Amino acid sequence: MIFLFACVLGLNSADTATIGAVAPQLESALHINNLQIGLLSTVTLLVGAVFVIPCGMLTDRAKRVPMLSASIVLWSIASAFSAFAGSYSALLLTRLLLGAVTATAGPAIASLIGDYFPSRERGRIYAYILGGEIAGTAVGFTISGSVASAISWRAAFVLLAIPGFFLARALWRTVPEPQRGGQSRLERGVVDLHAAVAGDPHADEWSWHGEGGAEPAEDFAQQAVRRRGIKPDPRLVLRTDPQRMSIGEAVRYVLLIPTNGLLIISSALGYFFFAGLTTFLVLFVKGHYGASQADTELALLALVIASVIGTLVSGRATDAMVRHGLLESRIWVPAICYLAATILFIPGILVTHLIPALWFDMGGAALLAAANPPLDAARLDIVPSGLWGRAESTRTLARSLAQALAPLLFGAIADVFSVIHPPQTPIGTHSPAHVSANADGLEFSFLILLVTLGAAGWFMLRARHTYAPDIAAAVASEQALASPGGGGGATGGAGADDGAPTEPV
């Protein structure tokens, strides 16, 4: 199941990375510039942003696995159509259609992770699944880039579309729909997944935590909050049944959670830089270092390996910290990672030779990827389970808008500096024999927009004071909704045992 979820995100990221991987061939075949390359990624993300909030509402109310499987089939069909585009306008249209069917992935997977896995191990689970996202980026860069160089960019899009049909079938047949609210929690050792989710006590008696409709014990994060005596903000304790909340009410509530707002901003800024970097990385490496296709693919492979290592280490390490009472580690670790990655990318961009630059870039890539597992796990900790889909769709909306803007802004800045700053006078000491005006403009663009990573770290640091109280509010919300008569009052109010007066949000 974890592998299939990883493949879903991997397929999405492979599609995004393919645009950057085949950018040289697209520029030659369709006679387009950096800004137009960026627009191909932007339209997909913008359309996805439009559809993601309704998809979040559907995630919280409908069966998620069938919805996700159907969207993957449509997604693969739209990707295949990209291969037959006869012009830039037609390719742009197919990318627009693709965006409409990719909006389900983020909300559905976040909600399923929350229902299947307890908080104490979500960092590790997210690390495995996000590792698939990184691997998908690698596939998009290396395999699609190689196919585009050896055959054509059209063949790369065909190759990308094929796995989706098999993935949708495997997801439909393998993953059962879990009960909501954590009543289908699983642990390692479950043999029959369908029997376990159905509550069969013989599925795996020693490791199944779903029998009886509740976990046997609190998660470590909740225990830490109780030990400290942290009280929830009465305004954030939810009493309205999430199933009856409109889209506007749900979005307003999740944005009122202080930590969630900060995490959304930080995540969006991190993905902003990542989207711009992946869109133009192949062009930059080839132009800046004069690297061949083979050298470029080896460099990209090294960055992917570093990113996977950073993701896996971060997920396991932060879960271990939470188990030892370091609750805010899910805030501190991403903050430090963003700030340290900013510092490492500066020499990684400026160094004039590929091998020494690659060491700095590998460190930056590992830290940038390491920020995501604890950040994603923290978001599920602070939102009541009935709103996981809409909370993730709200975050995905901000992330998609940031990712949509990134290729345009990176490309526009690069085009401007390519004109006003000729390659004979770059920032570093380059040999004009291998530097191009295009790569020189991208160097300026990467350096200028590194400020977004530093800002992401700063916003994460601000969340360290609000994270624990927001966990307490989420716990109180679950208790209030589960109590007799719960779920029928107004949004807001204190928890059942809090003793504070009811206040409307």
Chain segment 351-392, per-residue pLDDT in tens = 888 889 899 999 999 999 999 999 988 988 899 888 888 888
429: pLDDT strictly greater than 50: no
- Given the structure tokens 């949708």, which residue do they identify? 168
Q: How many CA atoms lie within 13 A of 41 on its CB side?
A: 36
**Contact present, 110 and 64 (Cβ < 8 Å):** no
pLDDT band at residue 505 using 50, 70 and 90 as cut-offs? very low
Taking the C-alpha atoms of residue 358 and residue 248, their distance in angstroms, rounded to an integer, is 46
- What per-residue confidence (pLDDT) applies to 419? 67
For residue 234 the two structure tokens come to 């009465």
Mean pLDDT (the chain) is: 80
The pLDDT score that the predictor gives to residue 367 is: 95
Could you tell me where the beta strands, DSSP code E, fall in 144-214? none
* Cα–Cα distance measured from residue 397 to residue 124, given in angstroms and rounded to the nearest whole number: 25
Q: Which tens digits make up the pLDDT trace of 181-201?
A: 666 677 666 666 766 666 555
Nearest to 314 by CA among 131, 141, 492: 131
Assigned token pair, 494: 């204190």
Question: Who wins on pLDDT, 145 or 248?
Answer: 248
Reduced to 3 states (helix: H, G, I; strand: E, B; else coil), residue 426 is coil
- Which tokens go with 228? 């400290």
Q: In this prediction, what percent of the chain has a pLDDT beyond 70?
A: 83
Give the whole-number percent of the chain exceeding pLDDT 90. 22
Determine the pLDDT at residue 282.
77
Give me the helices (H) in 34-87, please.
34-61, 64-82
Residue 138 predicted with pLDDT over 60: yes
Listed ranges 42-46, 227-231, 309-313, 475-479; the one with the highest mean pLDDT: 309-313
Confidence of residue 478 (pLDDT cuts 50, 70, 90): confident
Summarize the confidence of residues 445-472 as an average pLDDT.
92
Q: What are the percentages of helix, strand and coil residues in the chain, rounded to 5? A: 75, 0, 25
Question: Per-residue confidence at 337, pLDDT binned at 50, 70, 90?
Answer: very high
């395999």: which residue's tokens?
Answer: 143
pLDDT at 452 over 80: yes
State the average pLDDT over residues 28-49: 79
The tokens of 446 are what? 């990467």
By mean pLDDT, which of 33-37, 119-123, 449-453 is the weakest? 33-37
Question: Residue 101's pLDDT is what?
Answer: 65
Q: Which of 199-203, 248-252, 417-421 has the highest mean pLDDT?
A: 248-252
CA dist list (Å): 425 to 92, 114, 430, 437, 446 = 35, 52, 8, 10, 17
Q: Would you place residue 430 in the very low, low, confident or very high pLDDT band (cuts 50, 70, 90)? A: very low
Per-residue pLDDT band for 219 (boundaries 50, 70, 90) equals low
Cβ neighbors of 192 (< 8 A, separation 6 or more) are 200, 203, 204
Mention every residue, 6+ apart, whose C-beta is less than 8 A from residue 11. 72, 75, 136, 160, 163, 164, 167
Buried b (16+ CB within 10 A) or exposed e, 179-216: ebbbbbbbeeebeebebbbeeeeebbeeebbbeeeeee
- Tell me the CATH number of domain 2-180+248-465, given options 1.20.1250.20, 1.10.150.530, 1.10.287.890, 3.40.50.720: 1.20.1250.20
Report CA Rg, the chain. Answer: 23
Residue 218's pLDDT is 52
CA atoms of 130 and 373, how far apart (whole Å): 7
